[in-house]
Amino acid sequence: MLVYASAFFFLPFFLQNARKVKWRPEDGLLLLFLAWTAVCTIFSVYPAGSFSGYYRFYFQGFLAFFSVTVLYFLPRFLSGEDKEKFPRLLIWVPLVPLLYGLVQYFRLDIFPWEGQPYPRIWSFFGNPDFFASFLGFFFPLLLSALASASTRKEIVLYGVYFCLFLFVLIQTHTRAVWVGSSAALIVWLLLQERSRRRILIPWIAAGILAAGLVLMLFLPDIFSGFGKRFVSIFDLTEENIRMRILGYRAALQMVRGHLLTGSGLDTYLWRFRAFVPLEFLAGSRSMTHAGYAHNQLLQFLVDTGAVGLGLYIILFACFICRGIRDSLGLYGRERMIVSSFPAAVFGTFVSGLFSFYPIASLAYLYIFWGWMTSRNSPGYSSPSGRTVWIFSAVLALSALLPFAADVKFKKGMMRQDEKEVYRALRLNPFPDFYRVSLGKILREKGRIAEAESVFREAAARNPYNALAWNGWGVVKREEGNEEEAAALFQKALLHDPHLSAAWLNLAVAYEKQGDFTRALEAYEEALKLDESSQLAYFNSGVIYANRKDYARAREEWKKLENLNSGYPRLRGYLQFLDKLIE
């Protein structure tokens, strides 16, 4: 949301001075990519979701790409003096998140990480991978500052900062960024002058060896753990990587029928679970709701098609080549700083082969690109009147409405207050989980007609929302319309065949219709997905008992007894069944 607010605040100033801007060839390519994302949004399988992007961080919808494109032009409006200071200022951007990450490592923050003795650090980003992706941009830049330090004070300052940076980056445990940063380091070294390269390579190698030796001698468990984790990303037999490969295969299947244009920005989430096998859910439950491919190229291929992926790759290639060309004509300290930008872009591309970028990283990627194309151009800003400032402030505040909506939504969920959730939807009408949660609250309060209206609207807005179809089916079942309820549960399973609640609801609907064979099949599917489903065991036992298959009924109820011996009526049913068997 801060990315949106920054972009919206800058937008009026950009429009005011757009005619003065000297356009670069890369600008046209970037705007062409933005235009293509607009086309993908219009023809998306879920246009509203493609416009806003999904999840609370609004990953990669059109609004995100529009905002970062606006930020791309931000360095173009800096004065020549400010452009020279810009890289030095960028170096300090990660400082506060790094310090908070250090606080988290020692478990001194108010939201401590539960789990491992050496926790993954996520700072303000809510996810360690997001935080590491953000840090990856600044690694070559900080390395350049340290390598070009000329005074003792600078060497100490940047040395301490660099050590803090590396420590926190390592503690994120994010292998993709480790690999990307290693690639960025290689590119950065290759772009230095030969004389400096002869000095830098031994010093960097000695630093890596010294750090490794210290860890190996004093913290052998940590040294061994980090080493194994780094190389494990290339181990195809490692469980997590094997699951990712299954996800990659699912992504390639999703492309069928949408090869050129894709299915729309950020639609990966909604279509993903229909294509992954049950093995993926069993082996990688934490990734099943993530909605991303752990591969930025596949994400673009699914969402924007082969055309969007091609433009994405060309963009990276153009900016990397532009940065290399600019740095080769420079010498000394300036060459180090300028060469850190193409190195960072290359490292980001490599990281994207194993991960994806949240919106904060996407914003800095575009800002880096913007500085690379505007480094030698004059500033174009002109004095702005009060009207422009007011308009900018209003736009920036409007971009913060999703934050206010989230506050209202959380308040509503804590109190089970539908009025607060309605207010959240008025502030931000895009999140589907607002509507699904609202429908559930209304249904539980007995306001069936309102609940049905909310679920119907959610399913109409996004036909791939299995939770909306499932909720609508539950409402229809409570109205007594079992046949229509079963049809709605089937629609939910069409879009998410791994939704255990929908299988369970479908089984109950079949059972009430008297179709016990299909009910048993649905209960079996529900139990494959959730072996702790007590209702599935109980109802399956009832059906088998009514069929006089007492042995199988006893087997199902015994499984339930192992889960919950106090389940209502279970003990009496088992005693009665034992008498029948005797």
Q: Tell me, what's the pLDDT at 177?
A: 93
Q: Tell me, what's the pLDDT at 111?
A: 63
Q: Tell me, what's the pLDDT at 288?
A: 46
The 10s digit of each residue's pLDDT in 292-335 is 568 889 989 999 999 999 999 999 999 999 999 999 888 888 88
Helix and strand numbers (H, E) in the chain are 30, 0
What are the structural domains, with CATH classification, of the chain?
1-18+380-399 (no CATH), 22-374 (no CATH), 403-581 (1.25.40.10)
- With beta carbons less than 8 A apart as the criterion, state whether 288 and 280 touch: yes
Q: Tell me, what's the pLDDT at 231?
A: 79
Identity at 5, one-letter amino acid code: A
Question: SS3 letters for 22-42?
Answer: CCCHHHHHHHHHHHHHHHHHH
Q: Tell me, what's the pLDDT at 358?
A: 80
| 3-state SS class at 193 | coil
Unique residue bearing structure tokens 């490292």: 347
Read off the pTM.
Answer: 0.88
Give the C-alpha separation, 261 to 309, whole Å.
10
Q: Tell me, what's the pLDDT at 388?
A: 72
Cα-based angle 389, 395, 398 (whole degrees, multiple of 5): 140
Q: Tell me, what's the pLDDT at 287?
A: 46
Q: Cα(first)–Cα(last) distance of the chain, in Å?
A: 68
The 10s digit of each residue's pLDDT in 63-120 is 999 999 999 998 888 877 777 888 888 999 999 999 999 988 888 877 665 544 446 8
Residue 330 exposure: Cα atoms within 13 Å on the Cβ side? 18
Distances (CA, A) of 490 to 183, 269, 314, 442, 497: 47, 20, 42, 23, 9
Give the C-alpha separation, 276 to 248, whole Å.
9
Q: Tell me, what's the pLDDT at 283?
A: 52
Q: Tell me, what's the pLDDT at 141?
A: 92
Q: Tell me, what's the pLDDT at 222?
A: 60
Q: Is the dihedral of CA 525, 526, 527, 530 positive or negative?
A: positive
- With beta carbons less than 8 A apart as the criterion, state whether 356 and 298 touch: no
Give the C-alpha separation, 263 to 356, whole Å.
18
> Among the residues of 43-174, which ranges form H helices?
47-52, 62-72, 80-91, 95-105, 128-136, 139-147, 152-171
Mark the ranges of the chain whose per-residue pLDDT is less than 70.
55-59, 111-119, 208-209, 211-224, 282-293, 378-385, 582
